[in-house]
Amino acid sequence: MTSAVLMDGKAKAAQLAAVITADAAALYSSSGVRPGLAVVIVGEDPASQVYVRNKKRTAESCGFHSVQHTLAAETSQQELLRLIESLNNDTGIHGILVQLPLPKHLDELAVTQSIVPEKDVDGFHFQNIGKLAAGHAADTFVPCTPAGCMRLIADQLGSDLSGLNAAIIGRSNIVGKPMASLLLQANATVTICHSRTRDLPGIARRADILVAAIGRPNMVQGDWIKPGAVVVDVGINRIDVDVDGERKSMLTGDVDFASAVRVAKAITPVPGGVGPMTIMMLMSNTLTSARLAASRR
C-alpha cells in the first residue's frame, strides 16, 4: 500500500525565509526601512512562551527589527491598551502581535481590535476579516495559519482548485472561517463542519481537501478520508503515551496520522507541518506592512 506524500512545512518555511530575508534586505537598502515586529506576551503560559521565542528568533534571522514586551499576568486592561497605542504610533514597528490566550481578566476582543488594521499582521482586526470575507485578500492581512495552509495546498494541487470539494472541520475565527474564505477564492466548493455537524465522517469522505482544526487529538481517522485526498492537520495537541512502560508527553494532531497516511495523497505531519508555515506567514505579513509604510513616506 502506498504512503502519502509528507507536506514538509519546515522545508517550505525555510525556502520562504530565504526569500523574505533577501526582500527585507533589499527594502532596507532602497528605502532605509527595516521591517519591525513587536510581540506582546502577558503572563507565564509555557506554550505561549515557546511560540513567542520562536517568532522573535525567526524575525531576527530574517533581518527584522524585533521587539518583545513581556508583561506580568496581573497587567491591567488599561496598561495593555496603552502599550498597544504606543506601538501603533511607533514608526519603527510595522507588525504588532499580542500572543493569545490572554489572562482571563483581559478582554481579548478589545485588545485585538485596538491594533490599527495596517499593523494587524495576525489578521484579527474586523476590517481585515471583513475584507477577506468580501474576497479582497490581495490588500489585506490574512490570518497566518490559513495563509500557510493555502501555500501547502497549492504545492500539491495548484492555485486554482476549481471542481474540488474542500471540508474544514472547525469554525474558529482564527482558522476555520478564514480558511473557508481562501478556499472559496481559489474556486473550491467548501463545507465548514463543527461539533454539531451530522455525519461528519461522511462529509469528510467526500472531500478532495480536508482541513482538520477542531482541537481533538487523533479525531479524524483514516476511514474518514477520501483516497487521494490532500489532508492538512492544523491541530497541535499534547497527549501522554506509554513508551517502554514509561509515560511520556508527545505532540499529535487532530488526524490519526498512522491510518490517514495510508489513504491520503498528501498530508501534513505534526509537528513540522502547519506550525513553521504559520510563523513564516507572520514574517511575510510584517514585510508587506513595512513595504506599504515605505511607499507612504
Do domains 32-116 and 143-274 share one topology? The answer is yes
In the residue annotation, 45 being an active-site residue is answered as no
Other Cβ atoms closer than 10 A to 30? 9
Q: Where are the domains of the chain?
A: 32-116, 143-274
Phi, psi of 206 (to 5 degrees): -90, -5
Is the model's pLDDT at 143 over the cut of 70? yes
Nine cell digits for residue 29: 537598502
260 and 268 in contact (C-beta within 8 Å)?
A: no
The whole-angstrom separation of Cα 43 and Cα 41 is 7
Predicted confidence (pLDDT) at residue 2 exceeds the cutoff of 70: no
224 neighbors 205 (Cβ within 8 angstroms): yes
pLDDT at 291 > cutoff 90: yes
177 is catalytic: no
Q: Which residues contact 35 (CB under 8 A, 6 or more apart)?
A: 24, 27, 59, 62, 63, 64, 65, 94, 95, 283, 286, 287, 289, 290
Q: Does domain 32-116 have CATH number 3.40.50.10860?
A: yes
Name the catalytic one among 12, 119, 120, 122.
Answer: 122
> Of 3.30.2130.10, 3.40.50.720, 2.40.50.140, 3.40.50.2030, which CATH number belongs to 143-274?
3.40.50.720
Q: What is the pLDDT of residues 6-20, one digit of tens each?
A: 999 999 999 999 999
Per the annotation, the verdict on 10 as an active-site residue is: no
Q: How many residues does the chain have?
A: 297
Query: Which of 12, 23, 55, 208 does the annotation list as catalytic?
Result: 55
What is the percentage of the chain residues whose pLDDT exceeds 70?
99
1 pLDDT tier (thresholds 50, 70, 90): low
